Amino acid sequence: MSKMNDITGILDIRTGSAVAVVGCRGKTSLIELIALQNKDKKVLVTPTTKIFPMISDDIVLCDTLQSCLKHKPKTGVQCLGQYNERSNVLEALPMQTLADMVPLYDIVLMEADGSRGLPCKGWKDHEPVVPDFCTQTVGVLTMCALGKTAANDVVHHLAEFMLLTGLGEGDIITVKALEDMVCLPEGMFRTSIGDQYLVINQVENESTTCEADSFLRSVKAKYPGRFKRLIYGSVHVGDWHEV
């Protein structure tokens, strides 16, 4: 196990990267961390589904299709999408519009999945929305669902999750269920493009460290060569470990 602080480097993100971030709770915070680490470059943050607008003095926000089309890429972080007043989120630009924008930026970070902030998910046929021009797919997970019951307040798309994992409503979510959610062909990486990376976030104490390390070692043993890197750590703390 190696310890590092630069999540950009760990995920092999460099000039020319177009990264789709999929999975469960923690995607937006990871995207924002990576974006701000690279604000000396031209960075585009955008959804292929939905994302909460990133509002900061360090981030340029364009929230209509017209403003996005007029925007000229420049050094720094730019968050582009179409604002929905009812849901208070940015929705995706037309896919061809996004494809045309990608070459104009050094790094493109796309939130390509939605989970309503819940730690588990089952995927419908059209999810995640990973464009074919991506260079890598990053899946995000936390360990906070372990020991909780499979229910609508823990799982997004409960019916699909139960079909994927074999659990019934009210059953305890186990390590095996999380492994199935991440690794089975119809799971988290079902539409992935490019190299696959798995990140466990919100690992901030001894208990979650043990859970995350054990989980990733099991995935590595059962699915050799499946993931380019298996990482756990914390956006909040800034420490990352590769298994």
Burial 153-171, CB ≥16 within 10 A → b, else e: ebbbbbebbbebbebeeee
CA separation for the pair 226, 16 (Å, rounded): 23
Q: What are phi and psi of 7, to 5 degrees?
A: -65, -30
Is residue 136 exposed (0-12), middle (13-18) or buried (19+ Cβ within 10 Å)? buried
CATH dotted code for 2-242: 3.40.50
Helix (H, G, I), strand (E, B) or coil at 123: coil
Q: Which of 208, 205, 203, 216 is nearest to 26 (CA)?
A: 203
- Structure-derived torsion over alpha carbons of residues 8, 12, 18, 24, reported in degrees to the nearest 10: -70
Beta 136-141 vs 82-84: how paired, if at all? unpaired
Report CA 172 to chain centroid distance, whole Å: 25
Q: How is residue 112 written in tokens?
A: 């390509």
pLDDT digit string (tens) for the chain, length 243 residues: 444 678 999 999 999 999 999 999 999 999 999 999 999 999 999 999 999 998 888 899 999 999 999 999 999 999 999 999 999 999 999 999 999 999 999 999 999 999 999 999 999 999 999 999 999 999 999 999 999 999 999 999 999 999 999 999 999 999 999 999 999 999 999 999 999 999 999 999 999 999 999 999 999 999 999 999 999 999 999 899 999
- The beta-carbon contacts of 1-4 under 8 Å, at least 24 apart in sequence, are 1/213, 1/241, 1/242, 1/243, 2/241, 2/242, 3/239, 3/240, 3/241, 4/240, 4/241, 4/242
At residue 56, the pLDDT reads: 86
